[in-house]
Chain A
Amino acid sequence: MDLAQANHAPKPYLKGRSALDWLAALLLSAGGLFALAQYGQYMDDYEQAILLAAIPTFIALAWAWAGLRNLLAGVALLSLGGIELYHADLARAEQAFLLKYFLSSQTAIGWMCFLFFFATATYWLGLLARSDFAEKTGTVLTWAATVMGTTGLLVRWYESYLIGPDIGHIPISNLYEVFVLFSLITALLYLHYERHYATRRLGAFVLIVISAAVAFTLWYTFSRGAHEIQPLVPALQSYWMKIHVPANFIGYGAFALAAMIGVAWLLAERGILATRLPSLVMMEDVMYKAIAIGFAFFTIATILGALWAAEAWGTYWQWDPKETWALIVWLNYAAWLHLRLTKGLRGAVLAWWAVVGLLVTTFAFLGVNMFLSGLHSYGAL
């Protein structure tokens, strides 16, 4: 065999997989097929196809990213454990110790909030004290928060069916639930970049925006009682919701992340924390990557929204305030990408732009619900 081929051709995909990889593949396949055998009769063709396609997708993800593999394992263990402990009785949330203090949805999400705050503090300690140990702890805490938050959402999904079979629905239907989703997605995106760029120095900044979302979630829970599971109004009873909302929040999460990197860039450029933060070039690169993925998913989300609108409101576009602001956000980041890619612009302008972009995005996400009226009214404050 030729040396060129022996050493430099891409490794065959299946070769050299670790035992854990194969175990993950086995468990994911077994889980997926068990679900299909057990509940396939309640699913339509699309749902069965989605379930089957999910098996290789999750295997690929688990193989590509060991952290995600561990997340899947942790979430599967905890959420299935939580569901099992319920014995199909909601009152058990108050009686069973593990449910009351760890696994019921409110408690699990409460743990997520605590862990994210703790992770933020730890990352900052690591950044300021130049402590690798603190930063590593920050990463572990962020992963733990993500496990608890995802478990919380999944158990919440189950709890909604315990309230009533007609009430059960995926927990991404109101502002409280999507704030949890936002925190989780932003954390996962961050953890991805942390691994990809092999630096933990940006955690301190990204976790600030997650902490802000968590603080809002807590305020929303304690002062508005927003955590209560509500049935879906007819307008939200649609399959589109299950894909439109997560796609949107990948966009929002990525834009938020990019804005925080923008803040770090601007500080480092002024010499603040400059010796502690990664290089300006690396931060620019992370910012570009985040905005690119955010833009791609935001494009998909907006299109999915249009498709849903066509089915629910009778037209794919009617200049509803939410639609219009989605367009403004889209144009904003399209301009950002044009400036960088076509004009080759770098530096302070793009960093500022990413920071201001978060304000525009926040207005599109929250401001429209608070100040403007329209059809897209779920999650009014």
Chain B
Amino acid sequence: MNRTYSRQLYEMLSSMRFAVSLLTVLAIASIIGTVLKQNEPYNNYLNQFGQFWFPVFEAIGLYSVYHASWFLAILAFLVVSTSLCIIRQSPGMVREMKSFRTGAREASLRQFAHQHTTQTALTHTEAERVVTTYLAAQGYKSKSKAQADGLLIAAKAGSWNRMGYMLAHGAIVMICIGGLLDGDLPLKVEMLLGNKQVTSLDKPFAQIGPESRLGPDHWSYRGNVFLPEGKRGNIAVLNVKDGALLQELPFLITLKQFHIEHYSTGMPKRFASDIVITNPKTGAEIERTIEVNKPFEYMGVSLYQASFEDGGSKLKLKAHSLLPGSTKVFDAETEVGGSLQLKQGEEPLRVEVTGFRPFNVENMSQPTPTDSEKNTLAMLNRHLGSGAKSPDSKDLKNVGPSFSYKLRDAAGQAREYNNYMVPVTQEGRSFFMTGMRETQADGFRYLRLPADENDKLDTWFALRAILTTPKEHALIARRFAATAMSGEGVSDTMRARLADTAERTLHLYAERGFESLGKFINDTVPEAEREKAADVFVRVLQGSTWEAWQLLRERQKLKPLEMTTTRADFVRDTVNSISDSFHYGSPVYLELDQFEEIKASVIQATRSPGKNGVYLGCALLVAGVFFMLYVRERRLFVLLKDSGEVLLALSSNRKTLDTDGEFARHQETITTLLNHGPRTS
């Protein structure tokens, strides 16, 4: 390259304009990465951007902006540019720091923004002594030099300002280099040189070959180790692009126990893992507890409590058939992460257990807007007092364990369910809650199954079975008519007609619940009377359900029940929930019978040897910033001319009002000193 070109290149790279342009590009590029969620599964991006844009954005690295080659290149340029800037400026700055500029001429001092001319009758020696003593007391260092027509006292203070420049800019280079070393760069190099391939993690670790493994001597990494209680491991999974790499750790980690503690509000209070670290070479074992905010470092690797998951809790289930007329119940055993095959009706179904929670804290209070809401004074009053006061009444309750699963049909379509183990009390009644959703994006819609007087679902299942058995409908209807029209003045014909209506109602209800009834009403009843008709149907259903209940008891040789409001509620809830159960989308209800919880901890393992350099850089940066901003470099010149004229001049690289004030002060004092001369007291 031509010498002038290289000179030009050097000047461009080391110019502040270039550095500021780079910083601007860096800032804008960084914004992209905050707006677009980074490092998501690639499928999400495909859905978001479509077939056309997805590969375009992938090519320019938008899904992982901060690891894209061009982004790293900007950072590298920034390091180069800042380094060159320091190299270019430093020699001059050091010279400046040392120099007193005793060669300054009167003509140039006359150009200063702050200058003042006065007279003195003192000799140069006397004047020099007075001035330098004063300046020393003011924190100035000074040096005098005889000039052609007088004596120049050159003083300076705040030279550390220039040191601040070097510290701050050097620190930025240091931080960037440390950051680059701890970032993705070593991995990129390793993948390129070592021919590493990402893997999709669809097989056990043992079957993943060396092409997707990184040795324990890999420079820097940040990955997760998944450990169920009682298990051990030495593999951290690094997420890279749309796959993963396995990072081998220089030691084995065994999870003895994972602890999770909660506040009374159900908010998590403490996550902690009791681990044992085994050094494979010496066999030495170290026991430690790591917590959030309390990591542990061993052999250059830091271990963090990152998150927790279910480690395969064992669940015992009772599967209740929801096919019409069926009362079948069968037991099943599985674990979180495991699956079950079910045969209900024609289609085979697969249950994939996705999660288990040993307890759930819910806010059970019903929002009750009070009159005082409207009254400003009362509202203000509610906000006086301690910060412990809750703005709305809360009723936090542990509603017990729950588990979730996906039910996948032969076509691969899945619905997700979330079932609670014990009944939840709502408005004084007990319900078993089971939630269903079609897609991940939806919230769960809950089906509330009323618990019977033994806090069981047995009565509900029995009632559902009998009410969905068409051949039982006639009997139930007859009994309903007999009870409903027990008076003497009622003819048998009327009773028979009511029984007939009830039977038809039950037939319709057994098809699709209220949906079939609603359709029937819409088709046959004039619009004006529909509401009334619906009301009649509901009462017929409730009455029939009560009769069905008594019929079931009779068959079990149990005494008939007295009607109470609680039982009326139960009947109403049963009629509603059986109707809803037609939209449940599953031929079975899975009841959680027993469980054995097994927790797993996710421990993050990181190695970042550049960290100390970065921290040192940070310390230097802070020092540099303070020196640059709070140490003003000032140079004060006092030229004592042989004619008795005195020229004062001050320059500063920080033009603030403080400088003006300081010059005014020095000017006044020095003038006074020179005019009155030194007096010994």
Q: Does B313 contact A (CB under 8 A)?
A: no
Select one of B269, B628, B680 contacting A231, CB under 8 A. Answer: B269
Q: Does A139 contact B (CB under 8 A)?
A: no
Bound CA–CA A55/B130 (angstroms)? 40
Q: Is the CB of A8 within 8 A of B267?
A: no
Interface readout for B642-662 with A: 1 if CB under 8 Å, 0 if not?
A: 000000000001111100000
Contacts of A14 in B (CB 8 A): none
A residues near B, CB below 8 A?
1-10, 90, 93-94, 99-101, 104-107, 110, 156, 159-160, 162-164, 166-167, 171, 221-222, 225, 227-231, 233-235, 237-238, 281-282, 285, 288-289, 292-293, 295-296, 299-300, 303, 306-307, 310-317, 319, 321, 324-325, 327-328, 331-332, 334-335, 337-338, 341-342, 344, 368, 372-374
Q: Is the CB of B608 within 8 A of A106?
A: no
A–B complex contacts, Cβ < 8 Å, 16 sampled: A3-B673, A162-B388, A164-B264, A167-B263, A225-B390, A227-B391, A281-B657, A289-B656, A295-B629, A299-B622, A311-B293, A311-B295, A312-B293, A313-B304, A316-B615, A319-B66
Residue of A nearest to B626 (CB): A296
Q: Is the CB of B291 within 8 A of A234?
A: yes
Select one of A222, A303, A338 contacting B618, CB under 8 A. Answer: A303
Residue of A nearest to B384 (CB): A107
Bound CA–CA A68/B26 (angstroms)? 41
Q: Nearest chain A CB to B530's CB is how many angstroms away?
A: 42
Q: Is the CB of B673 within 8 A of A310?
A: no
Could you tell me the dominant secondary structure of chain B's interface residues? mixed
Q: Nearest chain B CB to A367's CB is how many angstroms away?
A: 10
Bound CA–CA A317/B31 (angstroms)? 16
A222 with B388, Cβ < 8 A, contacts A3-B678, A5-B133, A307-B615 known: no
Contacts of A106 in B (CB 8 A): 383-387, 389
Contacts of B673 in A (CB 8 A): 3-4
Contacts A289-B656, A299-B622, A341-B654 known; list 20 others, CB within 8 Å: A3-B673, A10-B137, A90-B388, A94-B385, A100-B385, A101-B384, A106-B389, A167-B263, A221-B383, A228-B387, A296-B622, A306-B618, A311-B295, A312-B292, A314-B606, A321-B34, A324-B34, A331-B26, A335-B20, A338-B16
Residues 9-47 of B contacting A (Cβ, < 8 Å):
16, 20, 23, 26-27, 30-31, 33-35, 37-38
Could you tell me the dominant secondary structure of chain A's interface residues? helix
Contacts of B680 in A (CB 8 A): 1-2
Q: Is the CB of A368 within 8 A of B385?
A: no
Residue of A nearest to B656 (CB): A285
Residue of A nearest to B606 (CB): A314
Select one of B271, B293, B392, B656 contacting A288, CB under 8 A. Answer: B656
Q: Is the CB of B629 within 8 A of A317?
A: no
Contacts of B231 in A (CB 8 A): none
Interface readout for B365-397 with A: 1 if CB under 8 Å, 0 if not?
A: 000000000000001000111111111100000
Q: Is the CB of A335 within 8 A of B23?
A: yes
Contacts of A328 in B (CB 8 A): 27, 30-31
Q: Is the CB of A314 within 8 A of B304?
A: yes
Contacts of B33 in A (CB 8 A): 319, 324
Contacts of A332 in B (CB 8 A): 27
Q: Does B166 contact A (CB under 8 A)?
A: no
Contacts of A229 in B (CB 8 A): 387-388
Residue of B nearest to A281 (CB): B657
Residue of B nearest to A304 (CB): B618
